[in-house]
Amino acid sequence: MTNALISGDRVIEELKKATAETLAIDVTTIQTDSSLVRDLGAESLDFLDINYRIEQTFAIKMARHFIIEHIEEMFGEGTALDSDGKLTDKAVKLMRIRLEAASEGIDIETLKPGMDMDALPVLITIRSMARGIIDILDTLPETCPECGSSAWKTDDGTHIVCGSCAAMAVYNNGDDLIKEWLQKTQDEHKII
Ligand SMILES: [Zn+2]
DSSP assignment string, 10-49 = HHHHHHHHHHHHHHT--GGG--TT-BTTTTT---HHHHHH
Cα 169 to averaged position of ligand 1 atoms, centre (Å) = 9
Kindly state whether residue 1 falls inside one of the protein's structural domains: no
Residue 168 has φ and ψ, to the nearest 5°, of -75, 145
Q: What integer pLDDT is reported at residue 102 of this predicted model? A: 66
Kindly state whether residue 121 falls inside one of the protein's structural domains: yes
Q: What integer pLDDT is reported at residue 104 of this predicted model? A: 58
- Find the domain containing 171 and state its range: 8-189
Cα 171 to averaged position of ligand 1 atoms, centre (Å) = 14
Cα 114 to averaged position of ligand 1 atoms, centre (Å) = 50
SS3 category, 35: strand
Report residues near ion ligand 1: CB below 5 Å.
Answer: 144, 146-147, 149, 162, 164-165, 167
CATH of the domain at 119: 1.10.1200.10
Cα 154 to averaged position of ligand 1 atoms, centre (Å) = 13
Kindly state whether residue 70 falls inside one of the protein's structural domains: yes
Give Cα 18 distance to the centre of its chain.
15
Q: What integer pLDDT is reported at residue 180 of this predicted model? A: 97
Model pTM greater than 0.75? yes
Q: What integer pLDDT is reported at residue 117 of this predicted model? A: 87
**18 CB neighbour count, 10 Å cutoff:** 21
CA–CA distance, 37 with 120 (Å, rounded to integer) = 10
CA–CA distance, 43 with 18 (Å, rounded to integer) = 14
Cα 152 to averaged position of ligand 1 atoms, centre (Å) = 8
**CB hemisphere CA count around 54 (13 angstroms):** 29
Kindly state whether residue 95 falls inside one of the protein's structural domains: yes
Cα 59 to averaged position of ligand 1 atoms, centre (Å) = 16
Summarised one tens digit per residue, pLDDT across range 152-173 is 999 999 999 999 999 999 999 9
Q: Domain count of the chain?
A: 1
Which one, of 144, 174, 146, 150, lies nearest residue 58 by Cα?
174
Kindly state whether residue 152 falls inside one of the protein's structural domains: yes
Give Cα 35 distance to the centre of its chain.
14
Per-residue pLDDT of the chain (192 residues; tens, 9 = 90+): 889 999 999 999 999 999 999 999 999 999 999 999 999 999 999 999 999 999 999 999 999 998 999 999 999 999 999 999 999 999 999 998 988 776 656 667 888 999 998 888 888 999 989 999 999 999 999 999 999 999 999 999 999 999 999 999 999 999 999 999 999 999 999 999
Cα 4 to averaged position of ligand 1 atoms, centre (Å) = 17
Cα 144 to averaged position of ligand 1 atoms, centre (Å) = 5
Cα 151 to averaged position of ligand 1 atoms, centre (Å) = 8
CA–CA distance, 135 with 98 (Å, rounded to integer) = 13
Cα 7 to averaged position of ligand 1 atoms, centre (Å) = 22
